[in-house]
Amino acid sequence: MKIAILGGDGFVGWPTCLHLSNAGHEVHIVDNLSRRWIDTELGVQSLTPMDSIQERCRIWKEVTGKSLRFHLLDLAKEYERLKQWFAEHRPDAVIHFAEQRAAPYSMKTDRHKVYTVDNNVGATHHVLAALVETGIDAHLVHLGTMGVYGYSSVGAPIPEGYLNVEIDTPTGKKGQEILYPTRPGSVYHMTKSLDQILFQFYAQNDGLRITDLHQGIVWGTHTDQTRLHPQLVNRFDYDGDYGTVLNRFLIQAAIGYPLTVHGTGGQTRAFIHIQDSVRCIELALKDAPKRGERVRIFNQMTETHRVRDLAEMVARLSGAKVAYLPNPRKEAEENDLIVKNDQFLALGLNPIRLEEGLLSEVVDVAKKFAHRIDRSRVPAVSAWTKELAAQVDRDPERKALRPAS
Ligand code: NAD
Ligand code: USQ
């Protein structure tokens, strides 16, 4: 297949490009490199040294003989160019990763909120409108988030996207299938909820074939292909805005930094290893919906864990200390989470479980590149409200974690 990978320079996008190119597909990366610019804005860098996207593609060709083509394009700002690109390249499938994906970044200031909504909703809508306008019958696979469901304890498993409800009508109860009600916990997660409505409309109105993958927190760093050469290494975010919880705990353990648990650590979240994430995308690609079918939604996660249990596990493994800090986010202190993921299991996914070997692999990567870590960028300082920001600022334990300036 000819596949356009939008956002193919990112943490999940890059290993997906390699995986699908390795499987024999013709892969085109479309990215505006905004994630690299955000690193510059925040004054941070990936833990792992990343080459330019052009150099990464050159190395892939050298190692495997396979081509990856890179196209610099801003999906949110360059609608006409995107349309032309689709008309010229006519991909069989489009995988859409190209959004601002950090909840803390989306909550930093009003400017960051506006950017995140404009970028994410703009990019998604432009892709949909351009597919309709160019008449390309490509399967669109979008990376959504488990966070659209929200994290209140409902006491029942979260279904894959849809909920059957009964509505009282004058002639009795009528059954209906609706999108599971969204309860996003950040501006970023809200954009993924908005994406869902856009998909529903374009599938229903224009017959677009769309799969939305509600993904949990991705952890780990290497996949089979990124291991092939040091310059194919994946990016690895550790900072307080882009680093995700388990990967953060693992680098913190590697550099002797106390594990930064927010609040009681009673938050339960869904997780998936990066290798499984790329496998799931391939499985979803092969199982395309037909024209006129409703949006296909998969829960792309393999296990759930409570944040404090993860911290204790990493502490046991590494001897790290655990720091319970005031939570900068407005989120439930404790929640249960049971998630259905039957569709991927039925398609043959054999999940990688969180286990010591893989955890140690990340700690080893972190130790190797520990000299690249700026400890002052480790604390999470973006707060969801001004009151939470003040609380976080007053906390003596957090102050103790800050390096002297
Ligand atoms: P990332 O930030 O590393 O990669 C996103 C890529 O998209 C970057 O290369 C960026 O430059 C590009 N991009 C952003 N806006 C663009 C635009 N307007 N035009 C062109 N390119 C643009 O993110 P990631 O961790 O690889 O996540 C990829 C997708 O998966 C995101 O949509 C995210 O919401 C979703 N997701 C990620 C995780 C996770 O734990 N990383 C979990 C669940 C879902
Ligand atoms: N947390 C800590 N300590 C930290 C960092 C985070 O306790 O140092 C807590 C947070 O308060 C939160 C939980 O860990 O309760 C998860 O935070 P996270 O930053 O790992 O994940 P999140 O903000 O939800 O976002 C990440 C990705 C996002 C994706 C989402 C999937 O950045 O792109 O959509 O995971 S999900 O969480 O399932 O919605």
Ligand 1 first shell, C-beta below 6 A: 7, 9-13, 31-35, 74-76, 97-101, 119, 123, 143, 145, 215, 217-218, 244
Measured CA to CA in angstroms, residue 157 lies from 115, 196, 268 at distances of: 34, 20, 13
202, two tokens: 């374009």
* 146 CB within 6 A, ligand 2: yes
β-sheet bridge partners, residue 143: 213
List the one residue out of 145, 135, 142, 239 whose CA is nearest residue 186: 145
Whose Cα sits closest to atom 32 in ligand 1?
Answer: 97
For residue 160, the enclosing domain spans 2-236+271-304+334-355
Q: Is residue 283 part of a domain?
A: yes
Of 105, 149, 188, 257, which residue is the catalytic one? 188
Secondary structure class of 29 (helix, strand, coil): strand
Whose Cα sits closest to atom 12 in ligand 2?
Answer: 267
Closest ligand (CA of 148) = 2
CB count within 10 Å of CB 286 equals 11
Q: Is residue 15 part of a domain?
A: yes
Measured CA to CA, the distance from residue 341 to residue 358 in angstroms comes to 22
Q: How many residues does the chain have?
A: 405
Of 192, 221, 268, 302, which residue is the catalytic one? 192
Q: What is the CATH number of the domain that holds 350?
A: 3.40.50.720
Per the structure, the count of domains in the chain is: 1
Q: Is residue 367 part of a domain?
A: no
Which residues does 396 contact at the CB level (< 8 Å), separation at least 6? none
Helix-strand-coil split of the chain, %, nearest 5:
45, 20, 35
Measured CA to CA, the distance from residue 94 to residue 26 in angstroms comes to 12
327, two tokens: 């939570």
Q: How far is CA 244 from the centre of its chain?
A: 10
Question: pTM of the entire structure?
Answer: 0.97
- pLDDT band for position 152 (cuts 50, 70, 90): confident
- Find the mean pLDDT for residues 225-231: 98
Q: Which atom of ligand 1 is nearest to the CA of 36?
A: 11
Measured CA to CA, the distance from residue 116 to residue 65 in angstroms comes to 37
Q: How far is CA 243 from the centre of its chain?
A: 11
Per residue in 241-296, pLDDT (tens digit) is 999 999 999 999 999 999 999 999 999 999 999 999 999 999 999 999 999 999 99
80, two tokens: 């006409």
Q: Is residue 360 part of a domain?
A: no
Query: Is 192 among the residues known to form the active site?
Result: yes
Q: Which atom of ligand 2 is nearest to the CA of 104?
A: 23
List the one residue out of 180, 181, 183, 146 whose CA is nearest residue 163: 180
List the one residue out of 172, 179, 216 whose CA is nearest residue 201: 179
CB count within 10 Å of CB 181 equals 11
Q: Is residue 244 part of a domain?
A: no
- Find the mean pLDDT for residues 50-55: 98
Closest ligand (CA of 186) = 2
Q: Which atom of ligand 1 is nearest to the CA of 147?
A: 43
Residue type, 328: P
Q: E strands within 55-136?
A: 68-72, 93-96
pLDDT at residue 13 is higher than 60: yes
Measured CA to CA, the distance from residue 126 to residue 250 in angstroms comes to 37
Per residue in 79-134, pLDDT (tens digit) is 999 999 999 999 999 999 999 999 999 999 999 999 999 999 999 999 999 999 99
Rg (C-alpha) for the chain, rounded Å, is 21
What's the pLDDT score for residue 355?
81
**Mean pLDDT of all residues belonging to the chain:** 96
